[in-house]
Amino acid sequence: MRTRGLWALAGLLAGLGGLATSYLTATWLGLRGNPVTDVAELVIRVTPGSLAERLIQLVGHHDKPLLVTGVLVVVLLLFAGCGLLSRWSAGAGIGGFVVLGVIGLIANQTQYAAPATGILPILVGVLTWLACLGVLTAYLRPQPFRDGSAMDPQRRFLLLASGVGVGSVVVGLLGWKVGGHRRAVDAAREALALPGVSNPGPPAGVEVGLDGIAAWQTSANRFYRIDTSLSPPAISPDDWTVRIHGMVDHEITLSYDELVRRPRSEMWMTLNCVSNPVGGPLISNAWWTGTRLKGLLEEAGVRRGADAVKQTSDDGWTCGTPLSAMLDDRGAMLAYAMNGEPLPIEHGFPVRTLVPGLYGYVSACKWVRDIEVTTFDSFTAYWTERGWSAQGPVKLASRIDVPGNGHHVKAGSVRVGGLAWQQNTGIAGVQVQLDGGGWQPATIARKSLKDSWVQWVATVDAAPGGHRLAVRAVNDDGQVQTAVRADPVPNGASGWHTITFSAD
pLDDT digits (tens, 9 = 90+) for 376-421: 999 999 999 988 999 899 999 999 999 999 999 999 999 999 999 9
Instruction: State residue 145's pLDDT score.
Output: 47
- DSSP β-bridge partners for residue 310: 320, 372
Domain boundaries, the chain: 4-179, 220-386, 397-503
**Cα 128 to the chain's mean position, in Å?**
32
Q: Is the link from the previous residue into 202 a cis peptide, with omega within 30 of 0?
A: no
CA distance 11 to 137: 9
* Nearest alpha carbon to residue 122 among 221, 204, 200, 19: 19
The tally of CA atoms less than 13 A away on the side-chain side of residue 147 is: 2
Numbers of helices and strands, H then E, in the chain = 11, 19
- Tens place of pLDDT for every residue, the chain, 504 residues? 457 888 888 889 988 998 889 888 887 776 777 888 888 888 888 888 777 777 777 776 677 788 888 888 998 899 899 888 888 888 888 888 889 889 988 988 887 667 788 888 889 988 998 888 888 888 776 555 444 445 566 777 788 888 888 888 888 788 777 667 677 888 888 889 898 898 998 999 999 999 999 999 999 988 998 888 777 888 999 999 999 999 999 999 999 999 999 999 999 999 999 999 999 999 999 999 999 999 999 999 999 999 999 999 998 999 999 999 999 999 999 999 999 999 999 899 999 999 999 999 999 999 999 999 999 999 999 999 988 999 899 999 999 999 999 999 999 999 999 999 999 999 999 999 999 999 999 999 987 789 999 999 999 999 999 999 999 999 999 999 999 999 999 999 999 999 999 999
Counting every residue, how long is the chain? 504
Class of domain 397-503: mainly beta
pTM, to two decimals: 0.75
The tally of CA atoms less than 13 A away on the side-chain side of residue 153 is: 17
Q: Is the link from the previous residue into 232 a cis peptide, with omega within 30 of 0?
A: no
The structural architecture, per CATH, of the domain 220-386 is Alpha-Beta Complex (3.90)
Q: 468 with 500: CB under 8 angstroms? A: yes
